[in-house]
Amino acid sequence: MAKATKEIKRIAVFTSGGDAPGMNAAVRAIVRNAFNNDLHIYGIMRGYEGMIDGNIRRLETTDVGNIIHRGGTVLKTARSQRFMTPEGRKQAYENLVDNDIDALIAIGGNGTFTGAMKFIEEYPDIPVVGIPGTIDNDLFGTDFTIGFDTAVNTAVQAVDKIRDTADSHNRLFFVEVMGRHSGFIALHTAIAGGAGGVLIPEEETSIDDLVKLLKRGAKRAKLFSIVIVAEGNKMGTVYDIAHKVEEKIDLYDDIKVTVIGHLQRGGSPSTLDRVLASVLGFTAVEALMAGKSGVMVGIKNNNVDYTPFAEAIAKSKPLNKDLLRMAHILAQ
Ligand code: F6P
């Protein structure tokens, strides 16, 4: 873990990658703790894009009033291709130097920390601490990421509503939830939503296995069912899966598909996300003041913990196998 030596007086914060409910609560905690330590704090708009364009502005504590309950990110966000180039990072560095920025706090996911790691390799004089903000919960080094709890709650509310109509019509529903590379949202939604099946990227399975599972449920007079499908599952699109199952099963009056999509990314953050974001934002300021750089601050077993960016990016966070086993058993 790289140690920075210079005194930190001016910190800039940005959000990057997909937005996640709770990012605003993290920004608020950063700004308030920075003020508490007599530091000057700056907001970079639209993540790395704003860093390259010099879209950097001073934040006062009043700027973060009345945002703790708001979804999205007041700092806006972007997925920056330009920052992936040495020229883009050089331009960003020059803008930070022009604004006398001593250190950065990056709130985002895998892509955000990959960019931060490259940046520190080239410009180690500007330390960076990361905060995990993604609904996917797929970052190694933290039990939970900001936004995950809210996203799952949104998905479960949707599933509850679908359940009413599925039951009324004796239908099988396939509900796609987000998670390009990971099944955390799908698994938690399946458990909390009482799903009849769950398909996730982390597990190999087949249409025949799924059909068997649904038939077992039907044996005990289950006339409708809901299967949760992670968007990154290995069996294909949710429409392909529904079509293939339809060819092999005749248990339901009809088969329908619902894609919850970006609904999961918005909305007021849950209490858990607000508390997590506040803790991580608050701690990130202290981490920079203590000379840390190149690390993500996360929560492990209810304690704050630090993971080097390289590890957070390279290692994949394992899904809880016991939870998965339980989800399959409870689905029957
Ligand atoms: O931020 C994570 C995530 O929501 C994934 O679950 C999803 O696959 C992706 O972002 C969608 O990204 P975009 O909004 O850029 O299409």
- Alpha-carbon distances of 224 from 159, 160, 162, 253, rounded to whole Å: 13, 13, 11, 9
pTM of the model: 0.97
Q: Give the Å distance between the CA of 73 and the centre of ligand 1.
A: 15
Q: Give the Å distance between the CA of 179 and the centre of ligand 1.
A: 7
What is the CATH number for 285? 3.40.50.450
Statement to judge: residues 261 and 277 lie in one domain: no
What is the DSSP secondary structure assignment for residue 317, as one 8-state letter? P
Of 177, 231, 265, the one to substitute when testing ligand 1's pocket (max ligand atoms within 8 A of C-beta) is 265
Statement to judge: residues 161 and 230 lie in one domain: yes
pLDDT score, position 221 = 75
Distance from C-alpha of 53 to C-alpha of 34, rounded to nearest angstrom = 24
pLDDT score, position 217 = 80
Range of the domain at 199: 148-265
pLDDT score, position 222 = 79
Statement to judge: residues 18 and 110 lie in one domain: yes
Residue nearest to atom 15 of ligand 1 (CA): 18
Q: Tell me, what amino acid is at 161? A: K
| 252 domain residue, yes or no | yes
Distance from C-alpha of 223 to C-alpha of 234, rounded to nearest angstrom = 27
Distance from C-alpha of 44 to C-alpha of 50, rounded to nearest angstrom = 6
Residue nearest to atom 11 of ligand 1 (CA): 18
* Number of structural domains the chain divides into: 2
Of 249, 262, 192, residue with least CA distance to 217:
249
Residue nearest to atom 10 of ligand 1 (CA): 18
Longest dimension (CA), the chain: 70
Q: Give the Å distance between the CA of 137 and the centre of ligand 1.
A: 12
What residue ranges of the chain have pLDDT lower than 50? 1-4
What is the CATH number for 175? 3.40.50.460
pLDDT score, position 332 = 85
pLDDT score, position 1 = 47
Q: Are 306 and 131 in contact (CB under 8 A)?
A: no
Statement to judge: residues 47 and 119 lie in one domain: yes
Which 3 state secondary structure label does DSSP give 296? strand
Q: Are 174 and 254 in contact (CB under 8 A)?
A: no
| 48 domain residue, yes or no | yes
Q: Give the Å distance between the CA of 183 and the centre of ligand 1.
A: 13
| 324 domain residue, yes or no | no
Statement to judge: residues 126 and 152 lie in one domain: no
| 329 domain residue, yes or no | no
Statement to judge: residues 109 and 181 lie in one domain: no
Statement to judge: residues 109 and 161 lie in one domain: no
pLDDT score, position 5 = 58
Statement to judge: residues 159 and 119 lie in one domain: no
Residue nearest to atom 12 of ligand 1 (CA): 18
Distance from C-alpha of 122 to C-alpha of 86, rounded to nearest angstrom = 9
pLDDT score, position 4 = 47
Statement to judge: residues 215 and 244 lie in one domain: yes
Rounded to 5°, angle at Cα 101 from 95 and 106: 90
Statement to judge: residues 6 and 128 lie in one domain: yes
Alpha-helix runs per DSSP H in the chain: 23-36, 47-53, 86-98, 110-122, 148-169, 184-192, 207-219, 238-248, 271-289, 309-314, 321-331
Tell me which residues are annotated as active site.
136
Token pair 């520190």: residue: 120
